[in-house]
Every structure is written in C-alpha cells, then in structure tokens.
Amino acid sequence: MDKPPSPSLLPPPGPARPVLVGFSGGLDSTVLLHLLACAAPTLHGGLRAIHVHHGLQAQADAWVRHCRAVCADWSIPLQVVRVDVDRTGGGGPEAAARSARHAAFAAELRDDEVLALAHHRDDQAETFLLRALRASGPDGLAAMRPWRRHGRGWLWRPLLALSRGELLAHAQRHGLRWIEDPANRDSAPDRNFLRHEVLPLLRRRWPQASAAFARSAALSAAAADLLDEEDARALAGARGDDPRVLDVDVLARLPAARRARVLRRWIEACGLPPLPATGVDRIEADLLRAAPGDEARFAWSGAVVRRWRNLLHAGRQSAPLAAGWRCPWDGSVPLPLPDGGLLQLEGAAGFDDTLVVHARRGGERIALPGRKHTHALKHVLQDAGMPPWRRERLPLLSSAEGRLLAAGDRILSAEFAQWLGARGAKLVWSQIAQAAAPPGHGSPAH
C-alpha cells in the first residue's frame, strides 16, 4: 500500500491505543481507513474495522462484500454487525439508522479502545448549521468534538480539519475504491438539503463558508469548555451527599443563565433524558418559586424533578407499591420489587426464618435502637426527612408474627439492627436504575 503523501493530515490520537474504524465503504471512511492503515505500525496499538449492516438498501449485502475485500487487501480485521433498525420512532429512518449504528459501535468498542469516525470539515459545517437552526447555545454550536470519552473507550474524529474535496483528491491519487449510497443523493432529509442545496449556494458567494462554520464550531467548543468548568463548580456547590438532590437556596444565588446550565448538567449527570426546550423555564416557574411545602413537580419522558422542602430531587417516574402487595423472603437471593427496585441482604446467607416484604398499610409502629417505646412509622419517616414519593414506594420487612423490622434500608428496628450487626450484614434497597446518557449528539456516521 502506498504511503499517503502528507502523514501530517492525520493527527495522532494521543498515547498508542488500539483503533476501531467505523467503515461504511464510502469515500470518507475509506480514506480514513487508508490513512490509519498506513500509520498504524508506528502510531497505534492495533487497527480493526467495523461495518454495520442496516439492511435498508438493496445493495447492503454487496457493500459488505466490498468492505471485506478492501480490508482483506489491507490486512485489516473486519467485524460485520447486522442490526435491526427501529422505524417506529418519531425521528425518521435516518435517525433510527444512526441510533442503531452507534449502539453497535458502543457494543463492539473494547476497554480504552479508540473509535475513529470519518467526519470531515463539511460535515462539521452542516452540523453547526443544523444546531443553529435549532437555536442551540455554545454547547450545541460546538458541534462535533475531535476527541472525547465514549463508552468504555474514546471517540476520535481525525478528519475534521479536512474538506470532502481533499478526501476525494487523496482517494483519486491513491486509486482507492469506494461505494456510493443512493440515500445520500436524497435532498429530503435536513442534512442532505443543507449539503446539496444550501451550502453550495453559500459557497458560490462565500467560498470559505464551510471553513468559517467549522471555525465557529471550534470557537463555540472553546467557550463551552470554559463555561463547563464554572458549571461543574456551581453544581458541586449545590449538591450534597446525594448527587440527585440540589439545594434550592444555593441555586437561587446563581445568575439565571448559570442556573439554567447547572440544571441541564445536573439532569445529564443523573442519567436522565435531556430537559425539553421549556424544561428550565418550567423548573424556574413551578419549582424554584414554589413555597417549600407545595411538593411541586415537573415531569418529562419518564423522568421527574420534584421540589420538597428546600430541595430539588431528580429521578425516574415510578408508581407506588400496591397497597396489598406482600411477598415472603428468606434473604438468600435478591428480591425484585414490583416497581423495578431490588431488596437484598448482603454479608449473610439468609435470614434465620422466612420474613415478609410488603407495602405500607398505615398505622405501622417500630421499636428503634436505643428507644424504650415503639414509634409510629409515619413520624419516624418524617423525622428522617424521607420525601413523600419515596415513602409510597418504601418496602417494609416484617417478621412472620407481624413485627416491623425495617422500612427500606435506613429505618431498622433494634432487634433487626442487632441481628445484622452480629453478622456484619446489611440490608440494601436499590431503587430503579438510572438510565445512561444517550450516546452521540445527532452527528452523521460515515
């Protein structure tokens, strides 16, 4: 294989790491694979490729054969992954295919491996314009970052400084072969409309339009990074021991623009879906300005932020435990709860007798450690500062005779606390797992 004429076209991704190339067989990813194949012996800790078979085009099987042939010629291992594209979502077939592709990339990426994608300067210009048309701020206008953490490894876009024309010239100079996806000629999708209709018109008047948009994206990224540093400090100041809880008074002292950024960053850190366009305004109006006793809430996409006392709580929406629900449990294996939570005994093989896990019925009393009398569970939970929606989901653990032993994993009876302590064991109530932040930011894959 011929060496590329200018190795500096390809910046190294930092310390030598194995590289996984997203290889569609198109022009852009073919040039990227060629450049990496030439540089791999000295710059990287191994090179392989992945081709995602969407099954959306009649030529899809032929594209797989083409990719296999190219990788065989260049002695590059190729992984072909077939995916089912969910077309029932509201984002359209392009978005569904992109989502399936990124899921396949994430599943295949190994620990500390680098996923290399072939986005170039013209792609960056398109992304910048799409974000601007959606009224994005600096974070959105930063468009595609050249290097960032991704899943178990890293995401690298080494071609962002190059135009598609430069990639085409390189491919022609080296006699590379690539495939053309007919879907790329369809101007109906927004990105293709910008690519075929808008940007050529802009470049007729301003030849450097794509470079200017890409430069604006880079400047936005620099500004977003500076804002992020202050956002992180402000968020840390508003959070306590529980990362899903924010102090309303601390938030109120922040400037409105900073508070909006902190709220979005907090929601992302909690693994919840991004706030909708009106989300910050709703939290400001309905929660931050609410009286401390109002128990105001804002819900979206299965997530919810609640105001209770002087705190904001973020989490997934969930139903309370059914009033009549009960289940025998010996503690030997974790117990799944009806709301998706889990109750488990750690540090012991099981209880001495089978106990009963059940929902609250009202009127329960518990004998706390160091107390001579029993206390109403209702008052104990209030004194412990447990929010009302958590009380509704609280699993209770009782003996077969009906003595209340535990409410969740924080409220323990004297009898049960002694039993756990003698064995070095503990009761753990795991609530519904938080979802991970959605990968990717709507950028195209090549």
From the annotation, which residues make up the binding site for ATP? 24-29
Structure-block tokens of residue 78: 């190729």
Residues belonging to the binding site are 24-29
Classify the phi-psi angles of 176: left when phi > 0, otherwise alpha if psi is within -120 to 50, otherwise beta. Answer: beta
Phi and psi (nearest 5°) for 397? -115, 120
Q: How many CB atoms are closer than 10 A to CB 434?
A: 16
Query: Distance between CA 185 and CA 196 in Å, rounded?
Result: 8
Structure-block tokens of residue 41: 């012996």
Helix (H) or strand (E) holding 127: helix 121-133
Structure-block tokens of residue 407: 């409410």
Structure-block tokens of residue 203: 């470049």
Contact criterion met (CB below 8 Å) for 68 and 80: yes
Nearest by Cα to 393 from 331, 342, 439:
342
Concatenated DSSP letters of 286-352:
IIITS-TTS--EEEETTEEEEEETTEEEEEE--PPPPTT-EEEE-SSS-EE-TTS-EEEEESSS--S
Query: Distance between CA 3 and CA 72 in Å, rounded?
Result: 18
Provide the residue type at 366 as one letter: I
Q: How many CB atoms are closer than 10 A to CB 257?
A: 10
